[in-house]
Structure 1
Amino acid sequence: MNSKKPSKPFGFGFAQSSASKPKSLLDPEEQTHKKPTALDYFSEEDSQPKKRKLIKLEDDLDEDLNKQDEASSLSNVNEDYVGDLEDDRPPPPRTSTGIQGFVPQGFSFNKGFTNVHEVTSATKLDDVQKDDEIDDPLDAFMLDIDNQVQKESQNESLQEKIRRDDIEDEDFVESYVNHMKKKGIEVGKSQRPIEKDENVNSDEEVYATARAIDAQLEYDSDDNPVVEQKRKDIEPLPAVDHSQIEYPEIEKFFYEEHSDIAELSDERVKEIRRELDMHVSGADVAKPCISFAHFGFDEALLNVIIKHGYSEPTGIQKQAVPVAMSGRDIIGIAKTGSGKTAAFIWPMLIHIMDQEELQKGEGPIGLILAPTRELASQIYTEAKKFAKSYGLRVAAVYGGASKMDQFKELRPGGIEILVGTPGRLIDMVKMKATNFRRVSFLVLDEADRMFDLGFEPQVRSICDNIRPDRQTLLFSATFPKKVEILAREVTTEPVRISIGNVGQANADITQKIEILADDGYKWDWLMNHLVSFCVEGSVLIFVSRKDGVEELSRNLNQVNECGALHGDMMQAERDKVLRDFKNNKFPIMVATDVAARGLDIKAVKTVINYDVARDIDSHVHRIGRTGRAGEKGTAYTLITQKEDKFAGDLVRNLEASGQQVPDALMSLAMQNSRFRKSRNMIRRGRGRSGGRGRGYGRGRGRG
């Protein structure tokens, strides 16, 4: 029996001033060496019979407790109380009213306080009843109450003891519920677990499968668990001024074209892509490879690839790998299961091996963002099996797992590849478990899914926190407008690779660019071509300002009937103009961008950008008003010498749609310093390291 007295023996769990305490309950320093007696618990106002009874009770109680101490020692030899870390006192004792209420449970007049699990306070109420006749009627009444309370207290104590003895035989369902409660997960009447711990709720919408009890969940038609949960908003990372950060130099160009691929003619390249149902756009795109031998991988990586059952590259791998190893950004549009994961992991490994080795507290170099816990886990597994051949470390962070465990793994640094969901990754950065200073290879996988889950602000903030000259690969199963906008913002001169018909540019629209000295030449150009345009069909002319619409429409009305449409017009008036134009009451309409979105008139054969659009997105919407429903159409853009910035955007747009870029437009675009710098990076070809990078396959400082 553990007879050691607790260090703080009077932790009752209720406040009591020293003035109201009995002498025996004061702090040890305040007590005398006199043995406390039962009289210390009564005031002078108490009746004499009551005092006499308590004196006898004291003697009986001492004897009774001593017997109980001896009995309990036999059954509770190994029961040591382990208190809370913040308070080593035993839990507050259970007390009852009446005579027992004056004696705290677990207190022995001879031994002081003992372990409450080893003592059950009891009094000989039957003996008390056999004592002298009770003269006071009130005492008799109170004694009856004491008897009843004492019996109830003994029953409660017995039940509590029974529960303790039966814990090992607890029902497995109850064990599960208790286990989940300890983890902060409460299983309620809905039979759906609801997480409370902040360590496991960063990316709530994607962790249903991980924490659900399959037998207790309903499933939708796609076999996805239906779980009601409360979404947690995740604050994006604050903006970073990259001009104030001195980043280490990076290498991005490692591809050396195999002789077999170099001999392929342009016609053969087109045929290969056609066979793969592949559509590629961009400047100076590397030719697709046919086999793994054409990639230029070293023997270590090739052996692992073969070991895991790869026999021939998939379509997306044949084109994406050589492009990525050329240091180019990629927009890849391919379905899940197309082999895209390996298509970005293999080039990432080559990239990492040619960078400076990580120091303490640094890392990662390769960062992969995924929308869901399940996908992040799959990518982690795939990356780990290939990274092993180079001795690189891979880690994954996502919700549903402890933040602290992930923090401990990342904090020391040395992780070359990090896979994560946006929310948990932001959590780790805010906790200073990791940082993006060394990230130079960024992958956004299933970008459309991340947007569907509401992660757009988080994804943008992560991209903005990484060095601007990084290499970025974005993959998406679909390519909605919002993903297209993101792709344009986070990539530089990307190569667009799509498998199948997803994301294909509209091949029914032919774009023609007219470069003029200044705005004064636009009217003459229009007059020289307008008649032939009207012969082919309706003509839609876009200008940038409302007063420009009024002026140009007035001038055109002197030549041919023309309509005008802009935002200052009443809605009824605008509807009438659109209706008349659609019904061919006049062949020409001049409009601002207000008419660009949602306007569907099949008769429009020609779109003229009299003024260039405010951005390339508006330009795309403008020219999309022709070439509707499979009909052919032509879009003309009049651009002046001062609009070199927009010329660069036009070059990229034409390349993305697979159309020829006029030399005059390229020359104008090259006058823009930003475009010129990005284009020169592409034309560096193999780069300073001759296509292999410095220390290829080992990395600088890796031995």
Structure 2
Amino acid sequence: MTTFKELGVNPKLVKGLEELRIITPSQIQNEVIPVLLSGDTDLVGQAQTGTGKTAAFGLPLLQKINPSKKVVQALILCPTRELGQQVAKQLFKFTKYTDKIFTEAVYGGAQIDKQIAALKRPTHIIVATPGRLIDLVNKKAVDLSHVKTIVLDEADEMLSMGFKKELDQILGFLSDVKNKWLFSATMPHGIKQIVNQHMAADAHRIEINKKEVVNKNIAHQFVITQEADKLQVMLEFLKTQKGNRGVIFCKTKKATKTVAKQLIAKNVAADAIHGDLLQKERDKVMRAFKNESLQLLIATDLAARGIDIPDLSFVIHYELPDKEEYYTHRSGRTARAGNKGISLAIVTTPEIKQLRYLEKALHLSFIQIR
């Protein structure tokens, strides 16, 4: 069994990992870390959500930073505020025993003046959402001339959120950067375009379980019922979970609001996140979910972008998604860091055809539980 030390990770970083109880490298960490530590390189990594991508790129990235140089040396692009904050927090935890490496997270929906002030302090790594980074560059509030590494984390999410133009722009003015690392759960056409246009032809390509785009620790289950009985079926399932936490997915804002109201009326600790919420309202719901005063989060696909809550036991598809990559990202919210989880689809008879399509497209096997 390989260790992080054997992969070439700095002993001071290994000490920080051990304190976080990260002892054995995951498959993507095993394959990616030695490549990224071997020298300057471009890399395309495909792996499902929850496989340890942050450490896979974060550890080599931290080793490339020169702490004595008080300039921005690396840039990590993320689709959402939540993911950006989470990545920055992880990097901070990894560096507990190393020389001080300063990371700053910047994102839309927050006051830009405060972020500009924060960037005036020594900063080695910027974690940013694409739109906010462009704003900061336009205001000449950030100097990227010393950047040697750029990471695109959850690239397919950034694409589906409409950031293609911004990504092209950022990669365009950082075209001379020696290390471009792209990570994505799926590889839609737009991602292939970015790879072909902005990355070296000999970029390393690493695919983890190509046939298993969805984590193998997830049990994919379904129940057939009438539309009017979906709520009752869900309540019966929740009883079996005895307080375990999960996310319920709907396709529309209207549906998330309705389901949340129905669950709250049944004294279930639940709340919804959707596009109509102000950022501070969304933050309040997410805080309540993270500190476990809420058992359930009801979300649309867009609103759930970048959410990473450890120890989620299940996800429920109250409505099936329109796109197969949405199913990948939905179900990837559970069974993280080697844990097991359930992905339950509550479907009506006409929806079975869509379920069979997902089964075939994603190489899954759905089990009917009643």
Output the TM-score relative to the length of structure 1.
Answer: 0.29
SS of the equivalent of 1:392 reads coil
2:349 corresponding residue in structure 1: none
Q: After the TM superposition, which residues 194-213 of structure 1 pair with which residues of structure 2 at under 5 Å, given as runs?
A: none
Indicate conservation of the 8 Å contact 1:333/1:476, yes or no: yes
2:247 corresponding residue in structure 1: none
Aligned match for 2:197, one of 481, 484, 489 = 489
- State the alpha-carbon separation in 1 of the partners of residues 189 and 212 from structure 2: 10
SS of the equivalent of 1:473 reads strand
2:120 corresponding residue in structure 1: 411
- State the alpha-carbon separation in 2 of the partners of residues 494 and 379 from structure 1: 24
How many percent of aligned residue pairs carry the same amino acid?
36
The letter of the residue matching 2:69 is L
- State the alpha-carbon separation in 2 of the partners of residues 458 and 503 from structure 1: 30
SS of the equivalent of 1:390 reads coil
Shift of 1:405: 0.5
Aligned match for 1:368, one of 71, 76, 95 = 76
Which structure has the larger Rg over C-alpha atoms? Answer: 1
1:454 corresponding residue in structure 2: 162
- State the alpha-carbon separation in 2 of the partners of residues 386 and 428 from structure 1: 27
Give the strand-richer structure, 1 or 2.
2
1:472 corresponding residue in structure 2: 180
1:399 corresponding residue in structure 2: 108
The letter of the residue matching 1:399 is G
Shift of 1:469: 4.1
- State the alpha-carbon separation in 2 of the partners of residues 400 and 469 from structure 1: 28
Indicate conservation of the 8 Å contact 2:147/2:177, yes or no: no
Tell me, which stretches of 5 or more residues in structure 1 are unaligned? 1-288, 505-703
The letter of the residue matching 1:336 is T
1:334 corresponding residue in structure 2: 47
Aligned match for 1:346, one of 59, 70, 76 = 59
Indicate conservation of the 8 Å contact 2:150/2:177, yes or no: no
Shift of 1:431: 1.4
- State the alpha-carbon separation in 2 of the partners of residues 503 and 302 from structure 1: 29
Shift of 1:415: 0.4
- State the alpha-carbon separation in 2 of the partners of residues 466 and 436 from structure 1: 8
- State the alpha-carbon separation in 2 of the partners of residues 374 and 324 from structure 1: 26
Deviation readout 1:301-358 (Å, 9 max, x if unpaired): 11101111112000000010001111221100011110011100100011113x8x43
- State the alpha-carbon separation in 1 of the partners of residues 126 and 65 from structure 2: 12
Aligned residues: 211
- State the alpha-carbon separation in 2 of the partners of residues 298 and 483 from structure 1: 32
Deviation readout 1:652-698 (Å, 9 max, x if unpaired): xxxxxxxxxxxxxxxxxxxxxxxxxxxxxxxxxxxxxxxxxxxxxxx
Indicate conservation of the 8 Å contact 1:479/1:502, yes or no: no
- Say if 2:66 is the partner of 1:358: no
1:435 corresponding residue in structure 2: 143
RMSD value, Cα: 2.0
Indicate conservation of the 8 Å contact 1:439/1:467, yes or no: no
Deviation readout 1:175-200 (Å, 9 max, x if unpaired): xxxxxxxxxxxxxxxxxxxxxxxxxx
Q: Could you say if the C-alpha distance between residues 487 and 398 of structure 1 is closer, same or farther in structure 2, counting changes exceeding 3 Å?
A: same
- Say if 2:30 is the partner of 1:318: yes
Aligned match for 1:420, one of 125, 128, 147 = 128
Select the structure with the greater relative contact order (CA < 8 A; seq sep ≥ 6): 2
Deviation readout 1:123-168 (Å, 9 max, x if unpaired): xxxxxxxxxxxxxxxxxxxxxxxxxxxxxxxxxxxxxxxxxxxxxx
Q: After the TM superposition, which residues 493-512 of structure 1 pair with which residues of structure 2 at under 5 Å, given as runs?
A: 493-501=202-210
2:93 corresponding residue in structure 1: 385
Deviation readout 1:460-489 (Å, 9 max, x if unpaired): 111111152420110001001210121122
Q: After the TM superposition, which residues 218-617 of structure 1 pair with which residues of structure 2 at under 5 Å, given as runs?
A: 290-327=2-39, 328-353=41-66, 357-359=68-70, 363-388=71-96, 389-412=98-121, 414-492=122-200, 493-501=202-210
- State the alpha-carbon separation in 2 of the partners of residues 454 and 296 from structure 1: 37
The letter of the residue matching 1:490 is H
- State the alpha-carbon separation in 1 of the partners of residues 91 and 10 from structure 2: 17
